Amino acid sequence: MPIPGTATLRVLMVDDDADLLRTMSLYLESMDNVSVSTVPSPIMALRKLMSEHYDVCVSDFNMPGMNGISFLDAIRRDGNPIPFLMVTGSGTDRLESQAFAAGVERVIRKNREGDLFFRELVDAVRTAAEGSGQTSTGIPACSKTCIRSPISP
């Protein structure tokens, strides 16, 4: 629940894995002042970005029809400077180099142990928001106390 008088950070998440998309969204929404919109494809995400404002975009790399780097290229062609984070289950050093060259701010590998992937995701979103001037959102620094597991009761 947002703190009264603070802005809400709007995150757009794109992944063709519905279960993972839902879980990532729950983790991000466990942070104060964060609202997450989810879509299963880059094409749907581009439509949302044309009609709505988001502060950070988190996208999978390997999706049918358009990969994460091509998706970012399309966003930039539209003139949108949104901070862009990429998650991948097939992360390699070569892929990361390509992603960074394309303008991806951070690559987060899905195959981390336990909840490390989700903690890194939360930290990456917070850092991207701070770097883009979204510090007025009231998002706390990431620590064990700022992440409430959405899975436990």
* 42, 16 Cβ separation under 8 angstroms: no
State CA 96 to chain mean position distance.
16
pLDDT single digits (tens) 22-51? 999 999 998 888 999 999 999 999 999 999
* 31, 8 Cβ separation under 8 angstroms: no
* 37, 8 Cβ separation under 8 angstroms: no
Mean pLDDT of 119-130: 92
Domain regions of the chain by residue span: 9-137
Mean per-residue pLDDT of the chain: 83
Q: Is the pLDDT of residue 146 over 50?
A: no
Pseudo-torsion of CA 103, 46, 128, 34, nearest 10°? -170
* 11, 56 Cβ separation under 8 angstroms: yes
Does domain 9-137 match CATH 3.40.50.2300?
yes
Predicted model pTM:
0.82
Mean pLDDT of 110-119: 86
pLDDT of residue 132: 62
pLDDT of residue 6: 57
The tokens describing 138, both together, are 């009231």
